[in-house]
Amino acid sequence: MNIHEYQGKEILKRYGVRIQEGIVAESPEKAVEAAKLIMAQTNSKFVVVKSQIHAGGRGKGQIKGGTQRGVALAKSVDDVRDIAKNLIGNVLVTIQTGPEGKKVNKVLVAQDVYYPGESEVKEMYIGILLDRAKACNVIMASTEGGMDIEEVAEHTPEKIVKEWIDPAVGLQPFQARKIAFGLGMTGEAFKEMVKFVTNLYKAYVETDASMFEINPVLKTSDNKIMAVDAKVNIDDNALYRHADLANYRDVTEEDPLEVEASANDLNYVKLDGNVGCMVNGAGLAMATMDIIKLSGGEPANFLDVGGGANAKTVEAGFRIILKDPNVKAILINIFGGIVRCDRVATGVVEAYKAIGNIPVPIIVRLQGTNAAEGARIIDESGLKVQSAVALSEAAEKVRAVVAAL
Ligand code: GDP
Ligand code: MN
């Protein structure tokens, strides 16, 4: 689960990681109030106004149909109002959002930490993630912060220092010092950096995060180390033990079909093709997508209805697939192991009737317990649904349907 920058910074602060302080606002008026408060509390002359969307590259991104950048420095309260007006309610396009962009609903008004000027500060990069191959967490740090870390990794990989941490042992003090040293820190900044890395790692582990990316990590002109940005991803499978973090979920940032699917306990991932599919089991779902491709179609989605497919789950699956305007045909591929094929067939027929007239051809392949009975129920339903038992038969029927599109 991705969360917003301001939420990520709330987590960091709880763990004693110094952050660029800010207040989130949902209207230009609230942004102005926030700016006044921050200017008074932190003695800052300026503030930055930062769009809160689930995508990076905001600093270089631009509002659709305008010139406003997604992150901007405000030198007066009037500036804050203007920038917030340009951002809130409008669509921001960045290198990470794709051309359609993302709507900005909130801005973070934060203290200016680049005092007295940009040449006095140093922007660095620190990321923590899981290295599956080494079965370790890895901290990656670079002196080349603020910019695209992918570029650094490609062209100057020697500028990224990596430190692997055995999860059973945890981060050792010498490792935190190694990173601070690798980033060229000395004196007070070195001590600050050791503390920063240590607390950041603790936050990463204790929140069950799968990624923390702080870009830039800033060394201020008075040698403080702080997080100016925070990209945080929490492992969905661990949310059950973090009720407070689960509240950070912002469904307006997610694909609406995927939100509806997860509310129905369906594993759904939207894709760009024209043949929708509904399958039980992730492995069979992957194989089914291959079959669709081999038959000349393109899968419109991945959809795993899980082990206990019944009329209700099938109906929810149908509705979600049909909301995708690109879908021109549907392949249902269910293996009746735990669930019997005749029950699934009845479920398909009931779901079809509940939804009404489905405008696209449907092929239902049922294999396993009571497969023949399932095919009979489909064939005798009188609906525009074709049955199949063998996989090759289903593939042939998909091929015919796709060819006719
Ligand atoms: P991103 O572009 O989505 O990664 O957003 P960031 O939070 O990283 O901010 C983008 C850029 O805004 C940073 O790299 C800085 O150059 C600039 N920026 C952020 N905070 C401040 C600030 O307090 N003062 C100034 N002058 N610039 C800032
Ligand atoms: Mn950033």
| Residue ranges of E strands in 97-237 | 102-103, 107-111, 122-131, 136-142, 160-165, 209-219, 225-227, 231-234
CA of 18 to the centre of ligand 1 (A): 16
How big, in percent rounded to 5, are the helix, strand and coil portions of the chain?
Answer: 40, 25, 35
Q: Establish whether 337 is an annotated binding residue.
A: yes
Instruction: Using the atom order of ligand 1, give the atom closest to the CA of residue 5.
Output: 7
Q: Establish whether 301 is an annotated binding residue.
A: no
- Ligand 2 being an ion, which residues bring their Cβ within 5 A of it? 215, 229
Best CA proximity match to 39, nearest among 23, 59, 53, 15: 23
Q: CB of 231 within 8 A of CB of 215?
A: yes
The alpha carbon dihedral of 264, 335, 370, 365 has a sign of positive
Check if 125 is active-site: yes
Check if 254 is active-site: no
- Record the pTM: 0.84
pLDDT in tens, the chain (405 residues): 999 999 999 999 999 999 999 999 999 999 999 999 999 999 889 999 999 999 999 999 999 999 999 999 999 999 999 999 999 999 999 999 989 999 999 999 999 999 988 899 999 999 999 999 999 999 999 999 987 888 898 999 999 999 999 999 999 999 999 999 999 999 999 999 999 999 999 999 999 999 999 999 999 999 999 999 999 999 999 999 999 999 999 999 988 888 999 888 899 999 999 999 999 999 999 999 999 999 999 999 999 988 777 778 888 999 999 999 999 999 999 998 888 899 889 989 999 999 888 889 999 999 999 999 999 999 999 998 998 888 889 988 988 998 888
Q: Of these residues, 114, 125, 204, 352, which one is catalytic?
A: 125
Pair of tokens at residue 126: 């620190």
Domains of the chain with bracketed CATH: 21-111 (3.30.1490.20), 122-246 (3.30.470.20), 256-404 (3.40.50.261)
Pocket test for ligand 1, best of 114, 115, 124, 226 (most atoms within 8 A of CB): 114
Q: Establish whether 280 is an annotated binding residue.
A: yes
